[in-house]
Amino acid sequence: MDKLQQIYDTCKNCTACPLHQTRTNCVFGVGNPNAQLMFVGEAPGEQEDLSGTPFVGRAGQLLDKFLFAVDIDRSDVYIANILKCRPPKNRDPLPAEEDACIGYLREQVRTIKPKIIVCLGRISAMRLIKPDYKITREHGTWVEKGNFLMTAVYHPAALLRDPRKNEEMLRDMKVIKQKLNELQ
Ligand code: SF4
C-alpha cells in the first residue's frame, strides 16, 4: 500500500484531539503525490468537512483562479491543512490541536518531498515558518528550511473578505510560478 494511503488510514480514525467528535470527514489532503509544490492551509471549513477534500468551498475556488492565472495546474500540486478535522464554527485552531495533528502533515511532507511549500494564511505561516509571522508585512518573502523553500501568501478566505489584497496575491503567485520554473 502506498505511504500516503497508510498515513490517511491512520488519520481518518484519529481521536488524538477533541475535533474528531464533531468531524464529518477527516480532510487529509489532495493532489499529486509527487508534487514539487505543496500548499498548506490552516483547517477544513464546512464544505471541506462535508466533502473530505481541502479547499473546495468559495476560498478553494478562488485559490483555483489564482493557480489558473499563473498557469499552475491544480492536479500538479498537493494541498493540505495543518488540522485535518474542522474546528467548530471555523474558529482558529488551538495550539493543542495543532500539536496533536502536525505529525500527519510532517509525514505528508516527508513522503511527497515537495521543493516549495506555500503557507496559505497567517495560522499556517506561524506554525511552519515562525511563531511571530506577520502575514500583512511578510507575505511573499522566502526562506530556506531543510530541503525546501518556503513562503506564505494570504489565505484565500482573507481575499474574499478584502479583495483589495488580490493584486498582492497575484504578484506572490507569479513569483511562486517563477521559482517553480527555476526548479525544472
Ligand atoms: S484534528 Fe488531527 S489530531 Fe485532531 S482528531 Fe483530527 S486528525 Fe486527529
Ligand 1 center from residue 168 Cα (angstroms)? 33
Provide the pLDDT for residue 69: 98
Residue nearest to atom 3 of ligand 1 (CA): 101
Q: Which of 7-11, 96-100, 146-150 has the lowest mean pLDDT?
A: 146-150
Reading the block at residue 23, the C-alpha cell is 468531524
* Whether pLDDT at 38 is above 80: yes
Q: Is the CB of 17 under 6 A from ligand 1?
A: yes
Q: Is the CB of 26 under 6 A from ligand 1?
A: yes
Provide the pLDDT for residue 164: 97
* Whether pLDDT at 161 is above 80: yes
Rounding to the nearest 10 degrees, give the CA dihedral for residues 70, 106, 131, 116.
-30
Name 95's Cβ contacts closer than 8 Å, sequence gap at least 6. Answer: none
Position in ligand 1 atom list of the atom nearest CA 23: 6
Q: How confident is the model at residue 1 (pLDDT cuts 50, 70, 90)?
A: low
Q: Name all domains of the chain by residue range, CATH numbers in brackets.
A: 3-183 (3.40.470.10)
Instruction: Read off the pLDDT of residues 68-83 as tens digits, 9 standing for 90 and up.
Output: 999 999 999 999 999 9
Q: Is the CB of 160 under 6 A from ligand 1?
A: no
Is pTM beyond 0.75? Reply is yes
Mean pLDDT for all residues in the chain: 96
